[in-house]
């Protein structure tokens, strides 16, 4: 059934002039142990008793998919392939798979794919790999000279601090604009960089966002002021609050440059009767006024608003 909808999505994208970033979010054994990898719990990909075997299985899945999307009429619609989503590499994540093992898998996948597709524009998709939550500068020089390789970063303020609502709209915008310098420098020193995921969430609110049965740290930390409820009830937001969200959105669009918002639409909650998790809901933001109607309005936003001086100027030197 899922394959049928993938094929339909290619047809829909072709019809409406859209392009698809196809990304492997779940690999055999789970590459990160988080619920969106197919199952929560332990990691058994490049780690554990079946780690290498599951990595080999993953390569076969990638091979099959690349052969399919490289066909005429499909390759024009699917110009980019994400090899694996959110491999935990950075310090503080357990287990930490390490940049070396992750890089080895990325190299094996790259080598296999290019042997299938050949090299150069039009010969197979751009290949994106996740930064593992490292500083993206850490990947400078990785596979230097590779054919159409992209680095994928996922920058969220919703996690970690967990209390961005208290920090204020200006601080959130300034933090997001600060990402622009790293994006520009990495595009100069490495190559293509994409913001493969971002949202305007300022806390980990959303039912089961942290996995089924798990709570929300923001809800617990802010119970005295209603927890997640004020952030979820978008119909009660005033114009000032919406303007702050708009600034936060524009700052991220400007800093990340090549981006994919997570996610386009969230359906009505079966408990509440209206769309929940509104800060992850791009379509609702367009309708209600905290997402810009034309994202091109974000170009140069950080500089115009005196955030992160110097982040924007480097952009013209990137080819």
For this structure, is 197 an active site residue? yes
For the chain, the 3-state helix, strand and coil shares in percent, each to the nearest 5, are: 45, 10, 50
d(CA 17, CA 217): 40
Which of the following is catalytic: 197, 271, 288, 313?
A: 197
Which superfamily is assigned to 1-154 in CATH?
Glycosidases (3.20.20.80)
Which residue, among 67, 30, 23, 24, has the nearest Cα to 46 in the 3D structure? 30
Average pLDDT (193-219) is 88
CB atoms within 10 A of CB 68: 16
Which of the following is catalytic: 67, 86, 233, 288?
A: 86
**What percentage of the chain carries pLDDT values higher than 90?**
60
Residue 216 pLDDT exceeds 50: yes
Residue 309 pLDDT exceeds 90: no
pLDDT value for 126:
95
pLDDT value for 311:
53
Chosen CATH of 155-319 out of 3.30.470.10, 3.20.20.80, 3.40.50.300, 3.30.70.890: 3.20.20.80
Structural tokens at position 247 = 């600034």
pLDDT digits (tens, 9 = 90+) for 92-116: 777 788 898 899 999 999 999 999 9
For this structure, is 288 an active site residue? no
pLDDT digits (tens, 9 = 90+) for 132-179: 988 888 898 899 999 999 999 998 888 865 556 667 888 889 889 988
Which of 220 and 149 is assigned the larger pLDDT? 149
Which residue, among 315, 302, 303, has the nearest Cα to 173 in the 3D structure? 302
State pTM to two decimals: 0.90
d(CA 43, CA 31): 6
pLDDT value for 189:
83
Structural tokens at position 288 = 């209600």
pLDDT digits (tens, 9 = 90+) for 49-85: 899 999 999 999 999 999 999 999 999 999 999 999 9
d(CA 104, CA 273): 47
Give start-end residues of each CATH 3.20.20.80 domain in the chain: 1-154, 155-319
* Chain position carrying tokens 């700052």: 251
Average pLDDT of the residues of the chain: 89
């Amino acid at each position: 059934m899922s394959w049928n909808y993938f094929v339909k999505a290619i047809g829909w994208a072709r019809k409406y002039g859209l392009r698809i970033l196809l990304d492997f979010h779940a690999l055999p054994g789970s590459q990160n142990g988080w619920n969106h990898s197919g199952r929560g719990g332990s990691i058994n990909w490049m780690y554990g008793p079946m780690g290498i075997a599951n990595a080999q299985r993953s390569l076969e899945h990638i091979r099959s998919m690349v052969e399919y999307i490289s066909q005429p009429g499909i390759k024009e619609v699917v110009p980019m392939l994400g090899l694996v989503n959110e491999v935990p590499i950075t310090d503080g994540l357990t287990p930490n798979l390490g940049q070396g093992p992750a890089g080895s898998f990325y190299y094996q996948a790259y080598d296999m794919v290019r042997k299938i597709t050949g090299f150069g524009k039009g010969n197979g998709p751009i290949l994106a790999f996740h930064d593992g939550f490292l500083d993206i500068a850490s990947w400078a020089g990785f596979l230097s000279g590779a054919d159409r390789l992209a680095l994928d970063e996922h920058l969220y303020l919703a996690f970690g601090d967990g209390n961005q609502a208290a920090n204020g709209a200006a601080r959130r915008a300034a933090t997001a604009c600060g990402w622009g310098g790293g994006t520009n420098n990495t595009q100069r020193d490495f190559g293509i960089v994409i913001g493969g995921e971002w949202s305007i969430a300022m806390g980990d609110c959303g039912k089961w966002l942290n996995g089924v049965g798990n709570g929300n740290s923001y809800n617990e930390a802010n119970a005295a002021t209603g927890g997640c409820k004020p952030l979820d009830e978008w119909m009660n937001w005033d114009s000032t609050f919406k303007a702050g969200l708009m600034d936060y959105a524009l700052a991220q669009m400007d800093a990340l440059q090549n981006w994919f918002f997570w996610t386009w639409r969230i359906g009505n909650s079966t408990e509440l009767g209206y769309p929940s998790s509104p800060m992850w809901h791009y379509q609702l933001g367009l309708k209600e006024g905290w997402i810009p109607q034309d994202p091109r309005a974000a170009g140069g936003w950080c500089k115009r608003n005196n955030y992160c001086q110097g982040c924007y100027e480097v952009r013209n030197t990137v080819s």
